[in-house]
Amino acid sequence: AQTVTQSQPEMSVQEAETVTLSCTYDTSESNYYLFWYKQPPSRQMILVIRQEAYKQQNATENRFSVNFQKAAKSFSLKISDSQLGDTAMYFCAFRQGGSEKLVFGKGTKLTVNP
C-alpha cells in the first residue's frame, strides 16, 4: 500500500521569506500523481499544486513550486515570498494512476509570522 510521510508537524516562517515543506512517499508504481493541498483555519481544502510522475519538470504555480525527486520518492513544496495568508495546514497527497483515491500525509502546520 502507498504511504505518504510528512516529517515536519509544524513549521514557521517570517513574512516574505522562503520555506520548504517536506514529503516522501512509498510506492512500487511508475504512474502516479502527487499533490499539495492547503487547509486554512476555515478548513476548505484547496489544491496548491500537482505533479505528474512522468513529467521531469518540476511544477510551479506563482509563488509555489515543487522539488520532485522521483528516484528518492521525494516531493517537497517551496513557498517563496511567504504571506500571512499562507498560514494553514499543508497536506501532501498521492494518487495512483488509474485510481481516484487520494492517500494523504499527516500534514504540516505552517505559520507565517509578521
Write out the residues near other proteins by the rule CB under 8 A.
33, 35, 37, 42-47, 50, 52, 91, 95, 100-102, 104-107
**Rounded least distance, CB 2 to other proteins, Å:** 12
Which candidate, 63, 98, 68, places its Cα nearest to that of 80?
63
Distance CA 85, CA 37 (A): 14
- Residue closer to other proteins, measured from CB, 10 or 15: 10
CA 22 centroid distance within chain: 7
- Residue closer to other proteins, measured from CB, 86 or 90: 90
Distance CA 86, CA 90 (A): 10
**Rounded least distance, CB 107 to other proteins, Å:** 5
- Residue closer to other proteins, measured from CB, 50 or 70: 50
Other CB atoms closer than 10 Å to residue 28's CB: what's the count?
A: 5
**Rounded least distance, CB 56 to other proteins, Å:** 18
